[in-house]
Structure 1
Amino acid sequence: MKLTVVGGGSTYTPELVDGFARLRDTLPVEELVLVDPAAERLELVGGLARRIFAKQGHPGRVVTTSDLDQGVEGADAVLLQLRVGGQAAREQDETWPLECGCVGQETTGAGGLAKALRTVPVVLEIAERVRNANPKAWIIDFTNPVGIVTRALLQAGHRTVGLCNVAIGFQRSFARLLGVTPADVHLDHVGLNHLTWETGVRLGGPEGENVLPKLIAEHGDSIIEGMGLPRALLDRLGAVPSYYLRYYYAHDEVVRELRTKPSRAAEVAAMERQLLDMYGDPALDEKPALLAKRGGAYYSEAAVDLTASLLGGGGSPYQVVNAYNKGTLPFLPDDAVIEVQAAVGPQGPAPLPVAAVDPLYAGLMANVTAYEELALEAALHGGRDRVFRALLAHPLIGQYAYADALTDLLIAHNREHLAWA
């Protein structure tokens, strides 16, 4: 089995490699190819990847290359984890929206649109080259904004599934609180990427007992800790929102905070410099503890599980993925990309039936789905008017004066990445 990671020079990659090494019985990788145009950091990451494999006795081979076509040739699955423009572009995404009093964040709002505009054309070009190399290869997208990027890939006819680590993070934390194994926990997870709610927590599978009310009653303080939302909101919702919902439920509070502290991009950039220094140490043969602060917790386990299922191995029968709606949520278009539990196998994901969705969530989902449709149009075809329409549709913006000003700022800060600008 050959797996290729595009964006393999990312500091995330040792997390992924560690999962491949630990879970080799689930996903027996014979050749792991790391592809990245940044040759220097690729060699640092690749060296650590080889040492991780060696320490854990993994027989697979780790190959590094800056040649995309060579890297994807014959690959059974290709994982995308790239960042067009790097942390410098992220820094801009998180700062210029604040000039208009809007959230600056890399996956939602105006910053998220900027990332989509930079990313979609690049990902589609990569995907075409994957298809030319092996039409049967699966493309697993971890590149944000996952919902929009996955929709672009699916609309272009690629064998694609989108992946996020939010759900597996909740699964692991709920399992600890309940004193059970993660495999015992099945989430009623519903929404769009980075716009999701856990409306049920079931023991044993989709038909198991829903213990979410008990979880909230007994562990609500622990669940909400770190989200920046009040415990009372958790009780009133009767569901657990993704931490990304704070950008919607406490927008003005978040803007005030962002204006008074360093950006997350600046923190991550500093962390990446430390990590790359560590990766260059020939004595390091495991992922360092600092990597946990970088984000992406359990990404490797989710990626192994999904890849194994798609390639006919022993992955979990149900997994939270990003896939076409196809009637699962009747209030959204069939070609919307939703994030829900699905049965996953070699034919791809088949979303499980979802109970009626509370209008409190459905309304916001429908609004953001409309924005994502307009965002994809802007990413595919360009033009100031398309950018403006997408920004005006976004519930975190919604006022024409803000949308107009943000359109100019977005184009000014991203001109080098926009072929039409």
Structure 2
Amino acid sequence: MKKHSIVIAGGGSTFTPGIIMMLLDNLDKFPIKEIKFYDNDEERQNTVADACRVIIKEKAPEIKFLATVDPEEAFSNIDFVMAHIRVGKYAMREKDEKIPLEHGVVGQETCGPGGIAYGMRSIGGVLELIEHMETFSPNAWMLNYSNPAAIVAEATRRLKPNAKVLNICDMPISIENLMASILELNSRKEMIVKYYGLNHFGWWTDIRDREGNDLMPKLKNHVKDKGYAIEFSESGQHVDDSWKSTFTKVKDVYALDPETMPNTYLKYYFYPQDEVEKANAEYTRANEVMDGREKHVFGECNRIAQANTSEGSTLEIDEHASYIVDLARAIAYNTQERMLLIVENNGAIENFDPTAMVEVPCIVGSQGPEPLTQGQIPRFQKSLMEQQVGVEKLVVEAWEEGSYQKLWQALTLSKTVPNARVAKELLDDLIEANQEYWPTLK
């Protein structure tokens, strides 16, 4: 098996150590000869890199390791870019969540006004990474899991149509892990699923085991009363109180269409007032993350670097991110893996905009993804998706054209925003907060 060179774009992310540990745990499936970190925040990246250097030296000393802020150094002679950047970091995520709440609107990092604000910051950052990759390693593939994935995917489709970029999200993976637990399966990979939607906006329509047995009745029986909630262990990414509440709320989302299994994020569109009412405008999810995972990861990284050993570390392997290895292997070794990816529709959903970036099962090989046809979809889901695709396309057009009008229209069109007046007030506040990051809007 060929050994691969990869660059992790967003080397200073709190998720990077877990991803490194996951990659090291899968070297038998995906051999690596070199790992590079790239970030535009050198100090933050160095904190993570100093610890990861120790971990790599202990687990796989043969792997070359480099952390850099120089694009040419980072992107030269690589096979894969694994991109998970957050433009503006958690300080801007906090504003994405708190500014909408001041207007009585859902404050969430990928949904509604917060997602639109984050998208306007992310587009330029992701396009820049693609340009670096195409300049220095034109044969490389980018596995992009930077949020908000829907807006970023539409931007890559529109502005970099020939780029070798695969857009993927971990949320369906996390939900399928919960489903596997509910079904008492050993792994989500024992399930063969049909699914359609947009990123953070979709539905499972069929779930079977490898023998073809229908698993939906058992799932429905659980979800109608408990949502996706199960008994959680106390470790892991998606198990604090806000996530437990999200998984339980699924039962109310499910009630709208009991023939399907919904993505958790639909709660923000179906029950926005409920989310606003229970939100603490002084202490949002961004604050939870900064006080929780961020402090923990950076504290551990400093401790590992100073002790020059990872022994006794409480950093965790990012097991749910193992889909990144599956995706890289599919490209590298033509495995024909079946995976949910965000791709241009082109008829995968028969009665839907062919240019929409939809999330559907694909067979992935060395040529990239081949979407599996999901047929026609019902009016309810189709109408919701058309409205949301309109939002995403308007955001990308607003970014490209520097159009205030189109961004106002995008906010007005979002199901989370009550009317055009609130949308305009929100937009003006978001422009003020994002002066450093957004293109100038006229």
TM-score normalised according to structure 1 size: 0.92
Contact in 2 for aligned 1:14/1:287 (Cα 8 Å): no
Matched, 1:264 2:285: yes
Q: How do residues 87-236 of structure 1 correspond to structure 2 at under 5 angstroms?
A: 87-155=90-158, 156=160, 157-182=162-187, 183-204=189-210, 208-218=212-222, 220-225=224-229, 226=244, 227=246, 228-229=248-249, 231=251, 233-234=253-254
The correspondence for 1:40, drawn from 28, 31, 43, is 43
Q: Is the 8 A contact 1:52 1:286 kept in 2?
A: no
- Which position in structure 2 is the counterpart of 1:8? 11
Other-structure match for 1:344 = 364
Residues 326 and 337, structure 2, Cα contact 8 Å, conserved in 1: no
Paired residues for 1:284-295 under 5 Å: 285=310, 289=314
Structure 1 residue runs of 5 or longer lacking an equivalent are none
User: Out of 51, 55, 64, which is 1:61 matched to?
Assistant: 64
> 1:415 & 1:232 partners in 2: Cα distance?
38
**1:304 corresponds to:** 325
What residue is the counterpart of 2:87 in the other structure? 84
Task: Name the SS of the counterpart of 1:186 in structure 2.
Answer: strand
Partners of 1:289 and 1:212 lie apart in 2 by 37
Equivalence for 1:325: 345
Task: From the superposition, tell whether residues 331 and 366 of structure 1 become closer, same or farther in structure 2 (CA, over 3 Å).
Answer: farther
Aligned partners of 2:329 and 2:316: how far apart in 1?
A: 24
Cα distance in 2 between the residues matched to 1:369 and 1:108? 13
After superposition, what is the alpha-carbon deviation per residue over 1:181-234, rounded to whole angstroms, capped at 9, x for unaligned?
A: 3221122222111112222211128xx332112222156545432224263653
Say if 2:101 and 2:281, in contact at 8 Å, map to a contact too: no
> Percent of aligned positions with the same letter in both sequences?
28
Match for residue 383 of structure 1? 403
Structure-2 separation of matches of 1:145 and 1:288: 31
Distance 2:357 2:313 in 1: 35
What residue is the counterpart of 2:386 in the other structure? Answer: 366
Q: What letter corresponds to residue 361 of structure 2 in structure 1?
A: Q
Moved more, 154-163 or 53-62: 53-62
Quick check: 401-410 or 350-359, which moved more?
Answer: 350-359
Q: Post-superposition shift, 1:99?
A: 2.2
What is the CA distance between 1:379 and its match in structure 2?
1.7
Partner SS state of residue 333, structure 2: coil
Tell me, yes or no, if the aligned pair for 2:351 and 2:377 is still in contact at 8 Å.
Answer: no
The aligned counterpart of 1:18 is: 21
Unaligned segments of structure 2, at least 5 residues? 230-243
For residues 232 and 406 of structure 1, what CA distance do their matches in structure 2 show? 28
Report the aligned-residue RMSD.
2.2
* CA-CA distance at 1:253 after TM superposition: 0.8
Cα separation, 2, equivalents of 1:201 and 1:286: 41
In structure 1, C-alpha distance between the alignment counterparts of 2:103 and 2:216, rounded to whole Å = 39
Which residue matches 1:279?
301
TM-score by length of structure 2 reads: 0.88
Further displaced range: 26-35 or 326-335 = 326-335
